[in-house]
Structure formats: structure tokens, C-alpha cells
Amino acid sequence: MTQHSKTPFYLATLLLIAAGLLLAVLRHVQMGVPWLPGEQQPVWLVEARIDFQAWGDPVSVNLNIPDQPPGFYTLTEQAASPGYGYAITEHQGNRRAEWSIREASGPQTLYFKTRLIPDQYASEPLLAPGPVKPAEVFLEEPDATAAQALLEQAKARSSDASSLTRELIALLNSSTPDQNTRLLLGNAAPATTLYQLLNFAGIPARIADGLQLEDARRQQSLQPWLQIYDGDRWLTFNPRTGTQGVPADVLLWRQAVGSLLDVTGGSNSVVRFSMLRQTVPALQIVRAEANERAFGALSLYQLPVEQQGMFRMLLLLPFGALVVCLMRILVGIKTSGTFMPVLIAVAFVQTSLLPGLAAFISVVTLGLLMRGYLSSLNLLLVSRISALIILVLFITAGISIIGYQMGFSTGMTVTFFPMVILAWTIERMSILWEEEGAHEVLIQGAGSLTVAVLAYLVMRAPLAEHISFNFPELHLVVLGIILLLGQYTGYKLTELRRFAPMKRYQ
């Protein structure tokens, strides 16, 4: 036979393992699927409460709501508003929740709730097409001159839009403001002044409303944040400190141009925010997100729940196969039938271990006794196996009924064992008994059960269950390991004992 170089094989195997790991890491990073089962992830529950006095006329309320705020991923949004019609509208990047009612009078309260998860990889909102132009700002004298002077001063110390912004913020927040600054700040709040100055200087700027997230806070209001456009995206600055970027605990509620709240048919409207930090299983979030993310298409959460349950079971099989490989190649345990232990282990998963073991041993023992009689009938092999399958069915039915009558519902679980596999196991054991004696039957039976129990323990481990279903690509790694095991030419553990008599020839 031809002998191929092993290098391509090892390369391909390593590639397989690397691909599996890479995909898993990617899934972890992209979708936030946790490595460990039961991992919790914080979720911010933010509630906007709108209060106003209705005049008894038709009322329409609309509130700007977060649209892909940086650093967060929106999990759910819902409104609570008795009697009001509710809809979410989007117009030129301006997402608004709209409530309307034919007639309302007296104090009214509307709620808007959103659940957000911190997500540093959240995608940036899409920009409206077309160039972003600075808003037109007209300053009257002497403000215009003061602004001009202030801008000159800041421009001298900066190189681009963002450094200019930082410089302006520093000037406006200076503890010893000069007269120009004092003049400008006398008319408007610092954030508004900055907005005017920047647009005046030809830099597109806007004011966003940010919410400081703190656990269990109520009656919070929004704070202004400054955003400038640097040519391809909006950069956010804290107008109070000059730091660039949105802190992790700040939610930008409103980023678009436009008012936060519009109420027609009412007055004294006010919007207040309260928030709560919850923790939910990270997986629950992943499942909710899976539909929307690109990588989600590659996950099993898309399948109907019933199929998911089936895959949960099937995806454990590679681990069982790995255990069998390890046991047979590295340890050298003899089993009856190569993968019979895995199938038994799968049955154990459904029956749980001890009842499963008891049921399996009793079925096989009874089957062996009956097979003894069958062998004296001089039957052809096919009909003997077929007869055995029917007998196994009778035995399982008998065990179930007797178990149930005696009050052990665990007896019923025996039906989870694959009948045909049981029949073949009995047949093989029986032939083994006739040819090699009871000793060999015990060795192979015990070997099969040991491997089955080990495979069961591995498949039952919460980590294995979690990993196999949520990171299906890790099965590439299992495949790689199995391929590598197939190249193992060293001694098996049992051979170290088998060849022990060789000691005296050293």
C-alpha cells in the first residue's frame, strides 16, 4: 500500500481544531453565548414615565425612544398605557413611541419600558444618507464677536474637530472664565452654548440626551451630551468634563434631532426615568437576540423547540463517541459491540443512572436465560434474533408492569432502551458465553457497562450539555481529537499489564 506523508493530515486536523475553537470564540464574542452554563448577564430595565394633565380633548403623545444607543443592545420594548393606542414610528432616524386617545381628561400617566443589555460590540446606528451639514446658527452682536474670539482661542490650540471640541469644553468649564465665555454662558446653558459655537464654526454638532444608569434609581432626568460629526460618524463628548466617548453606565436615550416629548391635548407634561439592574441567564438573552444577528443564523436556536430538544440529545453523541475512543484506544477496555456503550449511555440519560443500570442488567440477564432455550431450538440466525427482539419487548413490558404495580415508576423507564441493540447484545453475549465461557462474558459485559457509565457521566455533565448545544462548532474539535486518536500507535494501558510477563526478558 502506498504510504502518504502524515503532514497534510496533521495540518488538516489542526486546522479543524483551530476552526472549531475560532468559531466558538467568535460566537462567544459576537453573540455573547457564555462559556459556562448558568452564567448571568446584567440587564437594565429602564422605565420612562410620562405625566401630564389632559384637557378633555383628543390627546396625542409622542416620546423619543432609544435607537441603537451606543454600548447597549435593546432586548425588549413595551408600553403600558390603559386605553391608549400605541405604536412605534420611525422617521428620518427618529424613533418615537406614539400614544393616542380620542378623549382624556385629568392627570394621565403613560409608561414606556425597555430592557437593555450592556454590549460593547453593539452595532453603530446607520446614518441617514447624504452629507451631514452643520445647523445654521445666527449669533447677534456682541455674542458673535465673543464666539469668534473664543473659537480663535480654541482653534489655536487644536488640530481637528474633536480636539477643538475638547478645547472649547475646557474653556467653557474653566474655573476662571474670561469675559467672552461669561457673556456666552450668560444667555444659555453650557451644552447649548457648545452646540451653537460648534455649528457656528462649521462643525456639525447636536445635543443628545443621556441617562445615568444607577441601580434602583427613580425620578431621574436626562442630561445633555454633546455629539459632533467628524466626517464619518458622530462622536460623543461629555460637555461637563470634555471626555470623549460614552461611559458604560450612560444610556443615550435621544440621539436624533427633535424634541424628547411632544404632547398635544395636554399640559404640564413631564418625563421621568427610573431604572433597575436585573440579572438574567445569559443564554436567555442570546436566544432572544439570535433572530436578529448575522451569526445567529448559524445557531440552533432558530429551529423549532421540538427539534432543538432532539438536537440537544444528538449533539451529545460525539462526546460519547470520544469516551469510547479514549477507552478503547488509550485504555484498551473490551466492550461488546463498538458503540453499544454509547447507545446504552443515551438510554441512561433518559432513565437516570441507577434505575437504568438495574433495568439493563435485568433485561440482559433474563434475555440470556431465554436465549439459552432458543439456542436449543435450532433456529436460523435471523429468526432467532427476531424472536429475541420480541422476547426483549415482553421482558421490558413485564418489568414496566411489575415495577408499576409495585409502585416503582422507574420500572417504566426501561422502554427507553433500544430494543434491537438489547437483542443483539444478548445474542453476542450468549455466543460469547458458549465459545469463551462466562469469564469473558463478565469481562466484556463489565467493560461495556463501565464505558457506558463513563459516557453517561460525561454526557450528563451540565458543561457538556451546554457546550455541545450552544457551541456546535466545538464538535469540530472533538472530531479533530478523534482523528488524532486514530493515529495513536503507543501502548494501551491494558497492554502495560498484559505484557508485564516480558519483564523477565529484559
Q: Which residues bind other proteins (CB under 8 A)?
A: 1, 3, 329, 332, 378, 380-382, 431, 435-436, 486-492, 495-506
Q: Is the Cβ of residue 407 or residue 490 nearer to other proteins in the bound state?
A: 490
- E strands, 25-104, where? 40-55, 59-64, 72-80, 85-91, 94-101
Smallest distance from the beta carbon of 492 to other proteins, in angstroms? Answer: 6
Residue 344: all three cell numbers together: 446504552
Q: Is the Cβ of residue 175 or residue 378 nearer to other proteins in the bound state?
A: 378
Q: Is the Cβ of residue 128 or residue 493 nearer to other proteins in the bound state?
A: 493
At which residue does the C-alpha cell 413485564 appear? 398
Q: Is the Cβ of residue 404 or residue 488 nearer to other proteins in the bound state?
A: 488
Q: Which helix (H) or strand (E) holds 495?
A: helix 493-498
At which residue does the C-alpha cell 407634561 appear? 269
Q: What are the b/e assignments for 473-482, b being 16+ CB within 10 Å? A: bbbbbbbbbb
Q: Quick check: 371 and 431 in contact, CB under 8 A?
A: no
Q: DSSP string covering 415-465, please?
A: GGS-HHHHHHHHHHHHHHHHHH-HHHHHHHHHHHHHHHHHHHHHHHSHHHH
Smallest distance from the beta carbon of 35 to other proteins, in angstroms? Answer: 33
Q: Is the Cβ of residue 91 or residue 503 nearer to other proteins in the bound state?
A: 503
Closest CA to 248 of 207, 206, 211: 211
Smallest distance from the beta carbon of 467 to other proteins, in angstroms? Answer: 28
Q: Is the bond leading into 8 cis (omega within 30 degrees of zero)?
A: no
Smallest distance from the beta carbon of 385 to other proteins, in angstroms? Answer: 9
Smallest distance from the beta carbon of 421 to other proteins, in angstroms? Answer: 14
Q: Quick check: 272 and 260 in contact, CB under 8 A?
A: no
At which residue does the C-alpha cell 458622530 appear? 234
Residue 16: all three cell numbers together: 479543524
Rg of the chain in Å (alpha carbons): 36
Q: Is the Cβ of residue 220 or residue 375 nearer to other proteins in the bound state?
A: 375
What is the largest distance, in Å, between two alpha-carbon atoms of the chain?
A: 117
At which residue does the C-alpha cell 448559524 appear? 298
Closest CA to 397 of 430, 366, 426, 428: 366
Q: Is the Cβ of residue 218 or residue 498 nearer to other proteins in the bound state?
A: 498
- CA dist 262 and 260 (Å) reads 7
Q: Is the Cβ of residue 305 or residue 500 nearer to other proteins in the bound state?
A: 500
DSSP structure class, residue 244? B
Q: Quick check: 205 and 217 in contact, CB under 8 A?
A: no
Smallest distance from the beta carbon of 437 to other proteins, in angstroms? Answer: 8
Q: Is the Cβ of residue 138 or residue 505 nearer to other proteins in the bound state?
A: 505
Work out the angle between the directed axes of helices 282-290 and 7-31 (0-180°, nearest 10).
100
Q: Is the Cβ of residue 9 or residue 408 nearer to other proteins in the bound state?
A: 9
Q: Is 8 exposed, middle or buried (0-12, 13-18, 19+ CB in 10 A)?
A: exposed
Q: Is the Cβ of residue 284 or residue 487 nearer to other proteins in the bound state?
A: 487
- CA dist 111 and 48 (Å) reads 6
Smallest distance from the beta carbon of 431 to other proteins, in angstroms? Answer: 7
Residue 152: all three cell numbers together: 480663535
Smallest distance from the beta carbon of 12 to other proteins, in angstroms? Answer: 17
Smallest distance from the beta carbon of 353 to other proteins, in angstroms? Answer: 28
**Strand pairing category for 105-118 and 72-80:** antiparallel
Q: Quick check: 275 and 214 in contact, CB under 8 A?
A: yes
Smallest distance from the beta carbon of 332 to other proteins, in angstroms? Answer: 7
Smallest distance from the beta carbon of 372 to other proteins, in angstroms? Answer: 15
Smallest distance from the beta carbon of 315 to other proteins, in angstroms? Answer: 28
- CA dist 424 and 197 (Å) reads 86
Smallest distance from the beta carbon of 1 to other proteins, in angstroms? Answer: 6
Q: Is the Cβ of residue 91 or residue 504 nearer to other proteins in the bound state?
A: 504
Q: Is the Cβ of residue 128 or residue 438 nearer to other proteins in the bound state?
A: 438
